[in-house]
Amino acid sequence: MLGALRTTTSRAVVDSWLDKVALVQVDGNAVTLQVGDAQLADCVEHNYLEPIASALTTMLGAPAHVALREVPPTDMGPQTVALFPAERAPVRQGLPLELLPSDADTQEWQDLAPRFNFDNFVVGKANELAAAAAQAVSQAPGQVYNPLFLHGGVGLGKTHLLHAIGQAARQRNPGLRVRYVAAETFIDDTMSAWRSKDGHARSDVRALYRHNVDMLLVDDVQFLQGRTPMQEEFFHLFNALHQSGKQIVLSCDRYPSELQQFHDRLRSRFDWGLVAELTPPDRDLRLAILQRKARDLALPLPYDVALYIADHLRNNIRELEGALTKLTAHARIGQRGIDLALARSVLGPLVELPSRNLTAEVIQRVVAQQFGLKITDLKGQKRHRSIVEPRMMAMYLTRKHTSMSYPEIGRVFGGRDHTTVIHACQKIDWQIKTDASLQSAVQSIETALGK
Ligand code: ADP
Ligand code: MG
């Protein structure tokens, strides 16, 4: 999970805060974390519970409930330490330090993750254009598509491709200065430079990103949405690099024109080069990926089990990995081989067969009826509490009783982002366990739905 958070959250955050959080228990989807002091508990609770929950959700393949326990350091057993061996990414490599501005010495670039390479990226219809473009860019940086803009939903391989491009390019040309940065890290770095009293800090950050860089890989640029001064800063960085022929590769969870609250001039630069989409994998690709991962893990995965997973987990590739991880863990704990019975018992509850005739439309109608709302209220933007809660319930029930993916649910609920849907599902799932009146409201809707 820390590994996953490192790719989406700033390194500094992971190293200074999240590294000190220990995992004490995983019981189904209920995950208990433990921290050693109140300040840290507060910080994690307020700022990072959501990213943690969403990282866990993708790993477990179902909404995760995260509980945070605060325990004085002396009570944290030695196994806590063992759970997180100091697995820090190496300091940036191969840079002549004297060429860097002074402050940049303390900055560290996140290193590329060797486990994300072209060799283990399985190609199918869903990603072949993106993969081919990525290969091309890695072979001729700055010469074919600049920028290369990769977009697609969560868990479809954007981060994987970014790292793969960087590594392949570096392999071809070891002198090439390849830099990977999560957009959030760029934002953090720039923010702290702006806040710093030191007048040089601002120009130092600019220097860090503009000099000593031949290829810049920026992950998740959607985080720049709504941040006008930050977009300004990024716009100048983009221009500086582009004008000097440096390769820029961007990833995003949506198409450039779908970016909200975004400078047109920056948005339009995003499709100067090539825009390539990663779509959810079809069944063949899901199967191929499962088999490839099993092979890499030296995991005997019977074909019927692979089929079972591929048929039931259809949203993204991270889910498939999560299923394999879960199965392996259960097989190991139970000291048994992986077979269909095990897969059914372990994964069944997560992938419950959707009922035949229940659709999002029916659910929306019943929920609206129960709360005296209009269906358009559920799809609309009103933020009033009396609407927000039923809307979240309806999304939750749609996820539970249909086979629709989060992005699909988002679309039928007025074009909402899939992360909004995930959040709604997690919230209701949690409240059902803690709020009796909400629980009975959900139950009565389910009865009305014939469940
Ligand atoms: P994104 O950045 O789009 O959310 P990631 O790149 O983090 O998704 O991919 C999620 C997981 O799925 C990663 O562990 C990645 O290695 C794996 N993955 C994604 N696409 C493929 C693929 N085509 N072949 C093999 N593994 C993949
Ligand atoms: Mg990613």
Q: What separation in Å is there between the alpha carbon of 160 and the centre of ligand 2?
A: 7
- Say yes or no to pLDDT of 7 above 70: no
Measured from the CA of 154, which atom of ligand 1 is nearest? 4
- Say yes or no to pLDDT of 355 above 80: no
Phi, psi torsion values for 73, nearest 5 degrees? -55, -35
Whether residue 291 contacts residue 301, with contact meaning beta carbons closer than 8 Å, is answered with yes
Q: What separation in Å is there between the alpha carbon of 150 and the centre of ligand 2?
A: 11
Q: What separation in Å is there between the alpha carbon of 155 and the centre of ligand 2?
A: 7
Query: Residues lining ligand 1, judged by CB closer than 6 Å?
Result: 116, 120-122, 127, 152, 154-160, 289, 317-318, 321
Please state, as a whole number, how many other Cβ atoms lie within 10 Å of the Cβ of residue 186. Answer: 24
Q: What separation in Å is there between the alpha carbon of 8 and the centre of ligand 1?
A: 13
- The confidence band for 11, taking pLDDT boundaries of 50, 70 and 90, is low
- Say yes or no to pLDDT of 173 above 90: yes
Whether residue 342 contacts residue 330, with contact meaning beta carbons closer than 8 Å, is answered with yes
Supply the pLDDT for residue 353.
Answer: 52
Q: Model confidence over 390-445: pLDDT tens digits?
A: 999 999 999 998 888 999 999 999 999 999 999 999 999 999 988 888 898 898 88
Rounded to an integer, what distance in angstroms lies between the CA atom of residue 398 and that of residue 354? 10
Residue nearest to atom 25 of ligand 1 (CA): 121
Nearest ligand to residue 285 Cα = 1
Nearest ligand to residue 153 Cα = 1
Q: Model confidence over 283-333: pLDDT tens digits?
A: 999 999 999 999 998 899 999 999 999 988 888 899 899 999 999 999 988
The residues facing 35 across adjacent strands are 70
pTM: 0.61
Rounded to an integer, what distance in angstroms lies between the CA atom of residue 317 and that of residue 3? 16
Percent of the chain clearing pLDDT 70 (strictly above): 86
Rounded to an integer, what distance in angstroms lies between the CA atom of residue 97 and that of residue 335? 52
Helix (H) or strand (E) run with residue 151 in it: strand 148-152
Measured from the CA of 4, which atom of ligand 1 is nearest? 7
Rounded to an integer, what distance in angstroms lies between the CA atom of residue 314 and that of residue 351? 10
Q: What separation in Å is there between the alpha carbon of 308 and the centre of ligand 2?
A: 26
Q: What separation in Å is there between the alpha carbon of 244 and the centre of ligand 1?
A: 31
Which token pair is 389?
């809660």
Measured CA angle at 123 (ends 120, 127), to 5 deg:
120
Measured from the CA of 123, which atom of ligand 1 is nearest? 23
Residue nearest to atom 26 of ligand 1 (CA): 121
Measured from the CA of 219, which atom of ligand 1 is nearest? 2
Nearest ligand to residue 222 Cα = 2
Whether residue 286 contacts residue 258, with contact meaning beta carbons closer than 8 Å, is answered with no
> Is the N-terminal amide bond of 147 cis, ω within 30° of 0?
yes
- The confidence band for 259, taking pLDDT boundaries of 50, 70 and 90, is very high
Residue nearest to atom 23 of ligand 1 (CA): 122
- Please, where are the H alpha helices in 257-355? 264-270, 283-296, 303-312, 317-333, 340-351
Residue nearest to atom 9 of ligand 1 (CA): 157
Q: By C-alpha distance, which of 122, 131, 117, 60 is closest to 289?
A: 122
- The confidence band for 89, taking pLDDT boundaries of 50, 70 and 90, is very low
Q: What separation in Å is there between the alpha carbon of 219 and the centre of ligand 2?
A: 7
Look at 21 and 377; give whichever has higher pLDDT.
Answer: 377
Residues 6+ apart with CB under 8 A from 135: 118, 168
Q: By C-alpha distance, which of 131, 7, 28, 18 is closest to 346?
A: 28
